Amino acid sequence: MSDALKQSLDLSMFWEYRAILLQGLIFNVLVFLCAASVALSVGLGAALLRINRLWPMRLIGTLHVEIFRNAPDYIMLVWVHFVLPLLIGIAIRRRVEFHPFTSAVIALGFVYSGYFAEGFRAGIQAIPQGNLDAGRSFGMSERLILWRIILPQVVRRMLPEALNLFVSMFKATTIVSLIAVPDLMYNVSMVIQQEMRPLPLYTGAAITYFLLIFLLSVGVRHFGERWRRTSMA
């Protein structure tokens, strides 16, 4: 038993494969960056739909938020990778296939867009009507009001919460290995198949992710507290 413990804490094998594992980690970051931009833009779109004057628009926005906030990210990942291309193929009568990376970005981006949409909506609705009236009386267009008056305030209000969401999103990128995106966990399982030694490799992966995300979330927590103290009164 203590032999197994020694084996799993002996990380020299994990260190030996550092180049390929680091490459995997870069894929995690890439998926995260792309999915985060999808989540932010789709989330903003859904939030604007939810506060639209027309009820069918509001219904679509609400459905979007409720579906994606209640969906497990793994089933969405599998659905986007295996079902969505078939549906698109039927629609345009041609064979379509998604690269695993594309599926990962779409799935994670849409799942998290539901959470971001709620943040955006709460932020937008907290803005006093007077701000909008003032903008209009200056002759600003709706678009300009959105970019110059609404979004700066929304960003300031939702930044701490959004950073937390980004951290959970980065954690969620580990599941993209399941559709063969060559991220850290994927490379770990490849090396395990080669070396037949799961103990040090899984332990190493767990410790790596822990250190990385621990540092990230400590940073986020600190930043969030300072942000609340200085920018909100």
Partner 1 sequence: MGNWERLVWNQRDVLLAGLSITVQVCAIAFLVAILGGLALCLVRLYVRPLRWLAVLLIEFFRDTPIFVQLMWVAYVWPEVFGFPNDFFNAGWLALGLQSSGYLAETFRAGIEAVPRGQRDAAFSAGLSPVQTFRRIVMPQVVLASAPSIVNQFTVIVKSSTLVSVITVPDLMSQSQKLVNVWYEPIEILTATAAIYITFIFLVSACGKLLADRLRLRYGLVAA
- Look at residues 30, 33, 112 and name the one whose alpha carbon lies nearest to residue 73: 112
209 or 227: CB nearest partner 1: 209
Enter the DSSP assignment of 146: I
66 or 142: CB nearest partner 1: 66
**From the CB of 206, what's the least distance to partner 1, in Å?**
5
57 or 212: CB nearest partner 1: 212
In the complex, the residues that contact partner 1 under the rule CB under 8 A are 1, 4-5, 7-8, 66-67, 70-76, 78-79, 82-83, 86-87, 171-172, 174-175, 177-178, 185, 198-199, 202-203, 205-206, 209-210, 213-214, 217
**From the CB of 26, what's the least distance to partner 1, in Å?**
17
138 or 210: CB nearest partner 1: 210
Is 96 in contact with 89 (CB distance < 8 Å)? yes
**From the CB of 142, what's the least distance to partner 1, in Å?**
33
**From the CB of 82, what's the least distance to partner 1, in Å?**
5
- Look at residues 62, 42, 41, 39 and name the one whose alpha carbon lies nearest to residue 50: 62
5 or 51: CB nearest partner 1: 5
* Neighbouring residues of 224: CB distance < 8 A, sequence distance ≥ 6: 159, 160, 163, 164
155-184 in b/e form (b: 16+ CB < 10 A) is eebbbbbbbbbbbebbbbbbbbbbbebbbb
